[in-house]
Structure 1
Amino acid sequence: MKTVLRNYDNLNSFPAFFNELFGEQSAAKFNKNVPAANIKETEDSFGIELVAPGFKKEAFKVEVHERNLTISAEEKNETEEKTETFLRKEYSFGSFTRSFRLPNTVDSDKIEATYEDGVMQVTIPKKEEAKPKEPKLISIN
């Protein structure tokens, strides 16, 4: 039996890692309660965008632990209506959790998250040594 070990710690492997895990059959296709994630990369950072309408900003929790970024939300609504002949209670629960493995090239202490108009945006800056550098001309003696 052959075991293949993949190293996802280099700079270009972050998107490849997600394509391999989630590819066309993303987690959102398996579970409609989990928002799909858009992941993008710039020279300075990675960005994760989750469309999660219907939640309040206070319902979200974004945390990093040992290179694992976890985005979760949980909200509970209760409605009670009393009339002359009956009592009606309606409960509404919504929750999800998404986790992402971060490469070694990111600065996890500077991660920022915003939630506006139903979209959670997480910006994950790269460490200075991981950013592309201009070519350096070396003089010949």
Structure 2
Amino acid sequence: MKLVRFNQPDPYFPNTFSGMLDKFFNENMGSTLNQFNPAVDISEDDSSYEIQLAVPGIQKKDFKVELVDGKLTISGERKMEEKKEGKNYHSVETQYGSFSKSFFVPDDIKVEEVGATYEDGLLKVHLPKSEKKVVKAAIEVK
């Protein structure tokens, strides 16, 4: 007996509309596109912005994080492990390939203090805000 994902009784002829969509997007699109789209969370508090990407299975060295002219770009690649002798795959649902996400960041960040950490499959990019400059001036009406 083998361990397989429960799907349709006949994978070549899905018996439901949902099954047809699942087959089309998982098999046709997945095999032609060599990229994946990791989930992103963006948060803000009084002192900083934070961007989190869910990207398990990637090593730190496989990420590239750049901030150029107010555009933050995070890219990387998740590589499929080499197939080993004696190991037969019955189902592969994990997405592999390259990804790239870009964000326009506000002008009020401290560029020199931007940092990134990767732990437990989450890449966190921390963007500290600069002190708000309050300019107040009395304007004479003429």
Q: TM-score, normalised by structure 1?
A: 0.57
Tell me the matched-pair count. 93
Does the residue aligned with 1:58 lie in a helix, a strand or coil?
A: helix
2:71 corresponds, among 64, 68, 71, to 68
Matches for 1:1-141 after TM superposition, within 5 Å: 33-77=36-80, 79=82, 94-129=97-132
Quick one: which amino acid aligns to residue 47 of structure 1? E
Does the Cα contact within 8 Å between 1:67 and 1:108 map onto a contact in 2? Answer: no
CA deviation map 1:26-46 (0-9, x unaligned): xxxxx9811121111111000
Seq. identity, % = 40
Quick one: which amino acid aligns to residue 37 of structure 2? V
Q: Write the distance in 2 (CA, Å) between the matches of 1:78 and 1:114.
A: 24
Question: Which runs of no fewer than 5 residues in structure 2 stay unpaired?
Answer: 1-32, 87-94, 135-142
Question: Which runs of no fewer than 5 residues in structure 1 stay unpaired?
Answer: 1-30, 84-91, 134-141
Q: TM-score, normalised by structure 2?
A: 0.57
Higher percent of residues as strand: 1
CA deviation map 1:86-137 (0-9, x unaligned): xxxxxx952100000001111122111000111000100001126xx9xxxx
